[in-house]
Amino acid sequence: MADKEDKDLASDAVSSDPPAEPTVSRVPQKVTRNSSPLTPITLVIALIAVGLAVWALLRSPESPSTEGPAGQATEGPLPGEAIEGALPGDAKQRVCDAAQVVTVAVQLQTNTDLGSEPAAVEAVAANARLAMLGGGEYLLSQIEPGTPAELADAARSFGTTLRVIGINALAGMPNSNPAQDTRLREAEKTRDMLAKICTA
């Protein structure tokens, strides 16, 4: 009896079908990709920042000059002359107000927190670069020959440094780069100097 059961088991084992092999589908499958809604916004901001950077690089600085005695060119107006095309208002107050606005804009855009998604991080970085490039350009545009020399020098240094930081950041240079780190420290130093001059 046992022999018959063993034979039945053996025949069952031999006659059992081999396991089915996995099949590969030849029908194309649609793959859906989850993308962040911030991606298009980031792209637009980055393009605006690049456009402003190119504009700032290609724009020739305006250097007002007048002809002095014997036809010699001199920087700025002669003593006692009115400044032609001068911006309205007090020159010192205008530069100080511009420096304050630029400082707030850069700090605000640099420290914004939109989350840890790559698109959000890139959006914050793009806004910070835009604030530095645009802020530096705006501050430089407020300096004129009537601006006190010490204030003009500090504002010119701060504005120029911001533009250089911004364009290098657009080129992919991280803040940890020694040259970029030096520029950031220089910008902080001149910002503090501007604040001290403006409150004096």
Contact of 85 with 129, CB cutoff 8 Å = no
**Which positions ≥6 away from 191 have C-beta within 8 Å?**
99, 103, 158
Identify the band that residue 161 occupies on the pLDDT scale cut at 50, 70 and 90.
Answer: very high
- The residue with greater pLDDT, 30 or 160, is 160
Determine whether 24 is exposed, middle or buried from the number of CB atoms within 10 Å of its CB (0-12, 13-18, 19+): exposed
Identify the band that residue 128 occupies on the pLDDT scale cut at 50, 70 and 90.
Answer: confident
- Give the model's pLDDT for residue 79: 36
Paired tokens of 39? 């991606």
- The residue with greater pLDDT, 64 or 50, is 50
- The residue with greater pLDDT, 165 or 117, is 165
- Give the model's pLDDT for residue 126: 83
- Integer Cα distance of 72 and 163 in angstroms: 33
**Which positions ≥6 away from 122 have C-beta within 8 Å?**
42, 46
* Residue range 69-106, pLDDT digits in tens: 444 444 444 433 434 445 556 889 999 999 999 999 99
Residue 67: CB atoms within 10 Å: 10
